[in-house]
């Protein structure tokens, strides 16, 4: 089992195409492409953290969950009410590989990493080279080696979830670590 992370798919949100400059003609094309990219990357047994903004409405949550590989854990972003409602209604069924964790900051201690939708100025173990993985879709919050921050919004990663261990390899270069 591998562990992946992503954010901001906003399955089912028509205005995501223009808001995020996505090169799709319509919502079906966008959803289908993102599902293909996800499934080309993630296997059925993998774990995928979504750091916010998974789907726009309950029908889109159901549509995506039925088609996506992996066991999905969604943390709340700005637009996750539909995902939370879907999970409350169907999340306890074995056939639904979706969990909604109503927490805003998730510590992955074994990886010395903190995950959140919102960009953090400070986070646990920041002074001990921990990494902050964020999901906010603004171009204002780019990945920064110096600040030890990775933005995993799907728009910056070809709509694919990214293997967390591969992301953290970006910080193994001693020159990057010692620049602080």
pLDDT digit string, tens, across residues 55-101: 999 999 999 999 999 999 999 999 999 999 999 998 777 777 999 99
Q: In the beta sheet, which residues pair with residue 48?
A: 4, 72
> Picking from 91-100, 131-140, 170-179, which range would have the lowest pLDDT averaged per residue?
170-179
Is the predicted pLDDT of residue 36 greater than 80, yes or no? Answer: yes
Instruction: List the domains of the chain with CATH numbers.
Output: 3-177 (3.60.21.10)
111 contacts: CB under 8 Å, gap ≥ 6: 131, 164, 165, 168
CB 15 within 8 A of CB 59: no
Q: How far apart are the first and last CA of the chain?
A: 33
Whole-number pLDDT of residue 180: 44
Phi and psi angles of residue 12, each rounded to the nearest 5 degrees, phi first: 85, 0
> Picking from 7-11, 43-47, 170-174, which range would have the lowest pLDDT averaged per residue?
170-174
Q: Which of 122, 89, 116 is nearest to 7 (CA)?
A: 116
Torsion of CA 6, 10, 12, 15, to 10 degrees: -140
Query: Rounded distance, CA 169 to CA 155, Å?
Result: 21
140 contacts: CB under 8 Å, gap ≥ 6: none
Q: Is the pTM of this model over 0.85?
A: yes
Integer-rounded Cα Rg, in Å, for the chain is 16
Q: In the beta sheet, which residues pair with residue 113?
A: 108, 131
CB 137 within 8 A of CB 8: yes
Whole-number pLDDT of residue 175: 56
């Amino acid at each position: 089992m591998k562990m992946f992370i992503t954010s901001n798919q906003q399955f089912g949100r028509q205005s995501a195409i223009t808001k995020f400059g996505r090169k799709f003609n319509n919502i079906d094309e966008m959803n289908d492409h993102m599902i293909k990219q996800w499934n080309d990357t993630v296997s059925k047994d993998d774990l995928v953290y979504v750091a916010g903004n998974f789907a726009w409405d309950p029908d889109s949550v159901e549509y995506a969950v039925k088609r996506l590989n992996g066991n999905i854990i969604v943390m709340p972003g700005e637009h996750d009410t539909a995902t939370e409602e879907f999970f409350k209604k169907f999340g306890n069924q074995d056939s639904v590989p979706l969990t909604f964790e109503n927490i805003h900051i998730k510590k992955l201690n074994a990886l010395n990493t903190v995950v959140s939708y919102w960009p953090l100025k400070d986070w646990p173990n920041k002074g001990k080279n921990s990494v902050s993985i964020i999901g906010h879709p603004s171009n204002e919050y780019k990945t920064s080696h110096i600040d030890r921050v990775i933005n995993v919004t799907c728009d910056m990663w070809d709509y694919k979830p990214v293997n967390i261990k591969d992301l953290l390899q970006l910080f193994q270069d001693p020159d990057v670590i010692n620049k602080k």
